[in-house]
A and B are shown apart, each in its own frame.
Chain A
Amino acid sequence: MTTLTPTKEILPPPTERITILGWMKKNLFGSIGDTILTFAAGAFLVWLVYSIGHWIFFSAQWAAVTDNVHLFMKGQYPGSEDWRLWLLLYLLGLVVGLSWGIFLKRAETVGWVLLIVPIVLAVWIWSLGRQSWMNLLLIDVLAIVGYFLGKRYPKQLARPTYIMILLYMPLVILLVRGFGENGFLKLVTTNLWGGLLLSLLLAVFGIVFSFPFGVLLALGRQSKLPALKTLSVIYIEVIRGVPLITLLFMGQLMLPFFLPSGIIIDRVIRATVAIIMFAAAYMAENVRGGLQSIPKGQYEAADALGLNGFQKMTFIILPQALRAVIPVLVGQFIGLFKDTSLVALVGLLDLLGIARGVLANPNYIGRQLEVFAFIALIYWVFSYGMSYGSRRLEIALGVGER
């Protein structure tokens, strides 16, 4: 008869030493089929990298891009007013640095600021002369200073940082647009805005305004008031049934017919409103998905505590619902950023509009590949940045929960 002897010591998990050769044998050359696949894929990769590299460094003629980098970056925005854009970028560096230091306490994110930001901005170096090195350096230094300040004094700086974030958007409008005929901050009309500047403005305003609008629509759709509910449903379903380009055309071409004569709404504003209206309908459906994922017990617990409807939504339901749909929302933000390129079709000179303009210049005939590769790279950098940021945000918000 055997008895079970209880194990006295607590055993460590078995360790497995993985060598590079062992890993290769297991994952690359496990069988004949694997080996063939490994060589085939390897050969294909080498060929691909060689072809692309050869094209970038030897065949491609980058003059269409390098001659016009300032156009790609800011359109016809007057050079004398460049300092206004730089000022905004300094502030952005500072705010981003501060937020990182205060809200995300991971050292690795410094690496992000140190490495990626200068690389992203490196394209500016060509366009804006030697002085831009100093500007870039200053943005970087401000971001790093902000990071360490935020890390050192998170309590004291949290409120000023929030205020700066809130004031940043109005400040963007004030500085980019300006006012008055001439003088210190003279008006730069929107037909001079272009390139990445315009694309980013459309995307940022689209995101910032469509988000609360979408949340309200989602709440409206769940509302117990029939009128509110019906209106929300009609809005969402009508907008979702129409392509964005149609909304843009209606805004640019049809809206003027309906407005009383004498009232002219700026073209950029019309495009922005069309983008916001379009994005909000999709946002609403994504947020609704989040709202539906919240168990009934959360509503009941909030009710039982005596919270009113507004408090229940603000403190209990929305924080959880929105956190649940961060990946979806960021996916939508990325889509929205890329969709702003449609404004080129209604005659605005965003990144794509500038690209089309440059290609229309007889000096750069046949340089489509270079130009489109360049703007694709810009779109990719920003989209990937958003994607990366969302993953960090999820990690930061997910700590210790559920």
Chain B
Amino acid sequence: MSNENKNLSGDPIIKCQDVHKWYGNFHVLRGINMDVQKGEVVVIFGPSGSGKSTFIRCINRLEEHQKGHIIVDGIELSHDVRNIAAIRKEVGMVFQQFNLFPHLTVMQNITLGPIYVRKWDKQKAEEIAMQLLERVGIPEQAHKYPGQLSGGQQQRVAIARALAMQPKIMLFDEPTSALDPEMIKEVLEVMEELAASGMTMLVVTHEMGFARAVADTMYFFDEGQIVESGTPEEVFLNPQEDRTKLFLSQILQH
């Protein structure tokens, strides 16, 4: 399912050039360069505090970068509110803690964005929401509240909620880290199906099995920099940097 059938050349859908960010005096991102092609599945991994989450949160402006350029789908992220709104329409995000809206039903969670941002009528939004719930395998939960679902189900609803906006790009910020082991699989399966459908995905994860199966490109982050990148084969079988070797040996041990 990997990179054989994809055409990963041409104009990138995400262009990051020399992206820097500071939290106070702490230099979190130190010159990130990354191009992502349409349909590419990117896995970002690295130790905690390496800036990988911060980086993907810069792509839909949940965090602000202070230097460099991020261009998403031809629009440069700047202080212009219209640009931010335009980009957020096209970029879906799935969070570690799901962040579903607890006071709304599953159906309302999914249709809120399409109705108020995409301005679809309610009927169309609900039809598409039902299709998405079937795609993630939980159509029967449509009228429950998030608190009544298991963690894995909640994360699948969160994926459906992001997909309902029909985004061009999906960001996943450690989507399985808050899940019990037996629920990780059901979420990864949904993500694998999504990758196979040709969605452009940026995934921060430590699930190396998932990375090996679906990633086109892997980036190893450490201390706010990209230490190493390449196809899964290159990174797993023949890592060039000592830091990468050490990290992989630590997380692949068990």
Contact = CB atoms under 8 A, between A and B. Distances in A.
Interface string A289-315: 000000101101111111110010001
B31 interface: no
B112 A304 contact: no
Interface string B75-114: 0000000000100110111010101111100000000110
A315 B102 contact: no
Contacts of A301: 93, 95, 99-101
Nearest to A315: B112
Contacts of B89: 306
A159 interface: no
8 contacts: A297-B99, A298-B101, A304-B92, A304-B93, A305-B112, A306-B88, A306-B165, A315-B112
A382 B100 CA distance: 38
B88 A305 contact: yes
Interface in B131-167: 144-145, 147-148, 161-162, 165
Contacts of B93: 301, 304
A315 B111 CA distance: 12
Contacts of B161: 305
Contact of B116 (A303, A304, A311): A311
Query: Is the contact region of chain A dominated by helix, strand, or loop, or is it mixed?
Result: helix
Interface residues of A, number: 21
Contact of A401 (B92, B97, B102, B113): B102
A320 interface: yes
Contacts of A400: 144-145, 147-148
Nearest to A316: B101
A303 B102 CA distance: 16
A141 B81 CA distance: 56
Nearest to A310: B116
Contacts of B162: 304-305
Nearest to B105: A400
A4 B244 CA distance: 47
B230 to A, nearest CB: 29
A356 interface: no
A307 B117 contact: yes
Given A301-B99, A305-B161, 20 more contacts: A295-B97, A297-B97, A298-B101, A301-B93, A301-B100, A303-B60, A303-B88, A304-B88, A304-B95, A304-B162, A305-B113, A305-B165, A306-B85, A307-B116, A311-B116, A315-B116, A316-B101, A319-B103, A401-B145, A402-B102
